[in-house]
Amino acid sequence: MPATSKPITVAVVDDDAEFRQLVRETLLGASDLQCRAECASGEAALAELPALRPDVVLLDIVMPGISGIDCLRRLRPLLPEARFMMLTVFEDYDRIFESLRAGATGYLIKRGVAPRLVESVRDLAEGQSPISPSIARKVIQTFQQAAPTDELSRREREILEWLARGRQYKEIAQELGVALNTVRTHVGRIYKKLHVHNGREAVARLEAKARGGGSR
């Protein structure tokens, strides 16, 4: 990046001190990223981050006191320009849908996140929606079980399947022979469809199907 460019400022909110250290050390390796704040709780984030105004906020979902999702709901109006990404050990449907409806624009699984973190933060700051392959697979499963009117377009499903294989946006654009912005647009539409998708109803439908014909 040009020397005159401002770094992307990042805040991490997580009650796990070792994970906060991992994030900080990972970000230190990128000259265009700056860890502006580390908060050990949602309460601390709400008190500190509005004044610091980070570009990107990384949020753990399950924390003592205010959960990551509730913290996100309360931070968004205070940080309208920020982008939020959930970092979690959980892959269940409820948390995915709740996070997306609360305003998260990225969702990464903590396990093995370090190699993907720097690029994902950059993508998030550029308006993209990073998503772990395992989460992309769950989204595919959800839409496969949804009503026909909720289904993804052929191109959206194709891009989601590439994401589920761990491909980055640039790689997908090359594979499909389309512009990078085209991939971004399709992923944005996928997220919009998830936002209007009723998460609890989707989970209930999947659980009912599992009871009637095997596990998910």
Farthest-apart Cα atoms in the chain, separation: 60
Q: Which residue shows structure tokens 């709901």?
A: 73
Based on the domain organization, do 76 and 150 belong to the same domain?
no
Statement: residue 34 has pLDDT above 80: yes
| pTM greater than the 0.95 cutoff | no
* CA distances in angstroms from 183 to 22, 64, 191, listed in the order given: 30, 37, 13
Higher-confidence position of 5 and 93: 5
Mean pLDDT of 176-204: 70
Residue 142 and residue 110 in one domain = no
| pLDDT score recorded for residue 2 | 42
**Do 74 and 103 fall into the same domain?**
yes
Q: What is the mean pLDDT of the chain?
A: 81
Q: Quick one: pLDDT at residue 211?
A: 55
130, 162, 187 — which closes off a domain?
130
If asked whether residues 207 and 141 sit together in one domain, one would say yes
Same domain, 148 and 171: yes
CA-to-CA dists, residue 209 to 90, 96, 98, 147, 205, angstroms: 22, 20, 21, 13, 6
**92 and 174 housed in the same domain:** no
How many CB atoms sit inside 10 A of residue 11's CB?
Answer: 25
Same domain, 147 and 201: yes
| Same domain as 83, residue 151 | no
Asked if 163 and 183 sit in the same domain, the reply is: yes
Total of domains in the chain: 2
The verdict on 146 and 177 lying in the same domain is yes
Hey, how many other C-beta atoms are within 10 angstroms of the C-beta on 51? 8
What gap in Å lies between CA 28 and CA 100, rounded to an integer? Answer: 28
Shared-domain flag, residues 115 and 97: yes
Question: Contact at 8 Å (CB) between 136 and 164?
Answer: yes
Q: Which two tokens stand for residue 185?
A: 């647009």
Q: In what order do the strands lie in the sheet with 56-60?
A: 33-39, 8-13, 56-60, 83-88, 106-109
60: domain CATH number? Answer: 3.40.50.2300
CATH number for the domain spanning 159: value is: 1.10.10.10
| Last-in-domain residue among 108, 130, 152 | 130
Res 216: pLDDT:
34
Tell me how far apart the alpha carbons of residues 179 and 163 are, in angstroms, rounded to a whole number: 16
Category of 98 on φ-ψ map: left (φ > 0), alpha (ψ -120 to 50) or beta: alpha
Q: Which of 14, 32, 12, 35 is nearest to 122 (CA)?
A: 32
Do 53 and 122 lie in a common domain? yes
Tens digit of pLDDT for each residue in 75-131?
Answer: 999 999 999 999 888 776 677 778 877 888 888 888 878 888 998 899 888 887 787
Instruction: Write the pLDDT tens digit of every residue in 191-207.
Output: 777 655 444 444 444 44
Q: Which of 102, 130, 158 corresponds to the end of one domain? A: 130
Q: Please give the residue range of the domain that contains residue 81.
A: 1-130
